[in-house]
């Protein structure tokens, strides 16, 4: 492998990794605030892909408009789904565990809804931008650079929201202590609703950016869900910065590993990395021991 | 005719599942009064405070605060009614800084005006917290954490402050510090209800007390009356 090819693989790894990070950070936000492991999170990614496909290909909406509309739709859909299902379980003492069954059911329901609506054909979206950037022998398609740019922007916005806004403080407070948050006047159920919407939108951003590169099918959520779980386990369950670092790390290790072996090894490398991290730090890179 | 009490709890019944914790509990708290809820471990002291704050569902009974029944008011709206609470074992937002914890006390829209002057007032009560403002709350000592918890609860400038086991797990030196803080809060015109097992510790600061045993209100009176009561002796010493 030449040096420039190696650099190319690292950059590709960061690009894919930034998408893993967006999906993983949604899982982490949901787990962090409401202690729910969302098994339907891959379907938010899948639906995000179809929303963009529907808007861009079927309706002919330009991508720069279609993507924000798809995000808003994903946010509303995520919030609605939370309100109709998980909300009721969290209201009841001792029912939180049933969210596993409910989100698994949701996952199956959403997959089949997509199958019904869009059929089983593999769909894709044309490139948003074309061309290749070449610098010192390293060649990166513009489309991939756009993905990285959007991911960085999204992560920056989310970090700002969590650190510096009233909503962000409420999300962090609720995730640390629901009762204490209620006592100071933060309504947990509304925070849960908004957090679920945000997490769905994060998945949809990843899907929108990946749509020109990876095929959209009713089942495209499942592999990304597994990657999302690896990411939150790497980063520490419920940690937003952990999910970002975990995602980037996973992307780079996968890309370099695949280059050294072959594509079939991709998932083996991902899970080996996860097992190695659990071995040394069972609480993840950013999680706390308790 | 004395004016109506600020808080009136009437025939409160609370159950956890099928297990009844409180049986027809009644009590009152006047304006600018400090009231201690006493009783042995498991007598239901904490449940009384949690029920007032809406943290635990009430089966029957009334909780009237300034003329309004609180039993249907959700916990996150209590601050707007003028009630705040220091939870048992502090319950800080452990990963956030001291300043962030305190500012969250003024989160609710009804109390998030003049945050700077509220903060100034609270930090005048706890000067040490101004120095420690950037420290991560979860890494402080128990006594310091209790001060942060009290400071957080005062940011909404409540008229009634509920304190669940404010002395729990604190060193004797810190306990007397917290006791004088309770008196100081009361001098600011705030009513305080707190619970505590130790009778002598409680009457250092409270005007009146209530004694709970197995979820039933057994006795009420001033510190002097209660300390010499036979009921206290029976409940605590079994004689």
pLDDT tens, position by position, B44-56: 999 999 999 999 9
CA atoms of A89 and B119, how far apart (whole Å) = 38
B90 to chain A: nearest residue by CA? A180
Contact (CB<8Å) B111/A176: no
Tell me if B75 and A183 make a contact (CB, 8 A cut-off): yes
Q: Do A185 and B152 touch (CB under 8 A)?
A: no
Substitution target in A180, A193, A290 with the highest count of B β-carbons within 10 Å is A180
Contacts of A166 in chain B (CB under 8 A): 107
Q: What is the pLDDT of residue A290?
A: 59
Residues 71-100 (B) with a CB less than 8 A from some CB of A: 74-80, 84-85, 87, 91-96, 100
Residue ranges for chain B with pLDDT beneath 70: 1-2, 237-239
**Residue (of A192, A152, A186) closest to A169 by Cα position:** A186
pLDDT of residue B1: 44
Q: Please check whether residue A185 touches B, CB under 8 A.
A: yes
> DSSP secondary-structure letter at A120?
S
Contact A187 B87 (CB under 8 A): no
pLDDT-based confidence at residue A289 (cuts at 50, 70, 90): low
Nearest to B104 among A169, A187, A188 (CB): A169
Query: For residues A24 and A247, is the Cβ–Cβ distance under 8 A?
Result: yes
Give B161's strand partners: B84, B192
A238-270 pLDDT per residue, tens = 899 999 999 999 999 999 999 999 989 999 999
What local confidence, expressed as pLDDT, does residue B2 receive?
59
A36 contacts A85 by C-beta, under 8 angstroms: no
Q: Tell me if B181 sits within 8 A of B150, measured CB to CB.
A: yes
Q: Give residues with Cβ within 8 angstroms of B39, minimum separation 6.
A: B45, B195, B197, B211, B212, B213, B235
Q: What percent of chain A shows pLDDT beyond 70?
A: 99
Residue A1: per-residue pLDDT: 63
Task: Tell whether B55 lies on the interface with A, counting CB pairs under 8 A.
Answer: yes
Say whether B93 and A187 touch across the interface (CB within 8 A).
no
Judge: A166–B107 Cβ closer than 8 Å, yes or no.
yes
Q: How far apart are CA B160 and CA B156, in angstroms?
A: 11
Is the CB of residue A177 less than 8 Å away from at least one CB of chain B? yes
Q: Is A183 on the interface with B (CB under 8 A)?
A: yes
CA distance B52 to chain A (A): 12
| CB-based contact A47:A238 (threshold 8 Å) | no
* Averaged pLDDT for residues A271-280: 92
Q: Is B57 on the interface with A (CB under 8 A)?
A: no
Interface A–B counts its CB contacts (< 8 A) at: 70
Q: Does A261 touch chain B (CB under 8 A)?
A: no
B153 in A contact zone (CB under 8 Å) = yes
Per-residue three-class SS string for A155-221: HHHHHHHHHHCHHHHHHHHHHHCHHHHHHCCCCHHHHHHHHHHHHHHHHHHHHHHHCCCCCECCCCH
Place of tokens 């756009």: A146
CB contact under 8 A, B94 and A176: yes
Q: Is A168 an 8 Å CB contact of chain B?
A: no
Angle CA(A84)–CA(A90)–CA(A92) in degrees, nearest 5?
Answer: 110
Q: Which pLDDT score, from 0 to 100, does residue B239 have?
A: 54
What pLDDT, on the 0 to 100 scale, is given for residue A155?
97
Q: Please give the mean pLDDT across all residues of chain A.
A: 94
**Which of B56, B85, B107, B160 to substitute to test the interface with A, most A CBs within 10 Å?**
B107
């Amino acid at each position: 492998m030449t040096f420039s090819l190696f650099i190319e693989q690292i950059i590709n790894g960061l690009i894919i990794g930034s998408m893993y990070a967006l999906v993983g950070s949604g899982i982490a936000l949901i787990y962090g605030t409401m202690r729910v492991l969302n098994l339907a999170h891959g379907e938010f990614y899948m639906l995000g892909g179809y929303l963009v496909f529907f808007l861009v290909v079927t309706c002919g909406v330009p991508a720069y408009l279609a993507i924000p509309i798809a995000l808003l739709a994903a946010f509303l859909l995520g919030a609605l789904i939370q309100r109709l299902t998980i909300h009721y379980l969290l209201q009841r003492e001792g029912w939180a565990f049933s969210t596993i069954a409910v989100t698994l059911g949701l996952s199956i329901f959403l997959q089949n809804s997509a199958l019904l609506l869009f059929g089983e054909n593999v769909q894709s979206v044309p490139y948003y931008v074309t061309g290749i950037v070449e610098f010192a022998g390293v060649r990166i398609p513009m489309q991939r650079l756009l993905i990285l740019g959007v991911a960085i922007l999204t992560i920056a916005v989310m970090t700002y929201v969590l650190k510096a806004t009233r909503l962000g403080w409420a999300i962090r407070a609720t995730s640390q202590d629901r009762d204490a948050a209620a006592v100071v006047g933060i309504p947990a159920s509304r925070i849960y609703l908004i957090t679920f919407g945000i997490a769905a939108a994060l998945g949809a951003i990843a899907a929108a950016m990946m749509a020109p590169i990876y095929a959209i099918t009713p089942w495209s959520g499942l592999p990304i869900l597994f990657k999302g779980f690896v990411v939150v386990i790497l980063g520490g369950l419920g940690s937003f910065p952990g999910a970002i670092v975990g995602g980037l790390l996973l992307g780079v290790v996968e890309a370099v590993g695949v280059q050294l072996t072959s594509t079939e090894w991709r998932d083996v490398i991902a899970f080996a990395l996860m097992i190695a991290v659990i071995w040394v730090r069972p609480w993840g890179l950013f999680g706390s021991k308790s | 005719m004395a004016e109506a009490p600020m808080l009136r709890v009437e025939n409160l019944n609370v159950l956890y599942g099928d297990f009844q914790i409180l049986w027809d509990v009644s009590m009152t708290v006047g304006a600018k009064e400090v009231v201690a809820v006493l009783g042995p471990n498991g007598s239901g002291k904490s449940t009384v405070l949690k029920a007032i704050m809406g943290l635990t569902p009430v089966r029957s009974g009334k909780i009237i605060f300034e003329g309004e029944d609180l039993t249907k008011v959700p916990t996150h709206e209590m601050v707007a009614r003028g009630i705040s609470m220091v939870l048992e074992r502090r319950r800080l937002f452990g990963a956030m800084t001291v300043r962030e914890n305190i500012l969250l006390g003024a989160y609710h829209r009804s109390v998030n005006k003049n945050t700077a002057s509220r903060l100034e007032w609270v930090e005048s009560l706890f000067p040490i917290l101004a120095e420690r403002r950037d420290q991560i709350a979860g890494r402080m000592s128990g006594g310091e954490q209790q001060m942060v918890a009290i400071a957080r609860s005062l940011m909404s400038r409540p008229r009634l402050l509920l304190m669940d086991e404010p002395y729990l797990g604190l060193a004797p030196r810190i306990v007397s510090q917290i006791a004088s803080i309770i008196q100081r809060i009361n001098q600011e015109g705030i009513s305080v209800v707190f619970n505590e097992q130790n009778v002598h510790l409680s009457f250092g600061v409270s005007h009146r007390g209530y004694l709970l045993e197995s979820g039933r209100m057994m006795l009420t009176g001033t510190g002097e009356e209660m300390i010499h009561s036979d009921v206290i002796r029976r409940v605590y010493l079994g004689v």
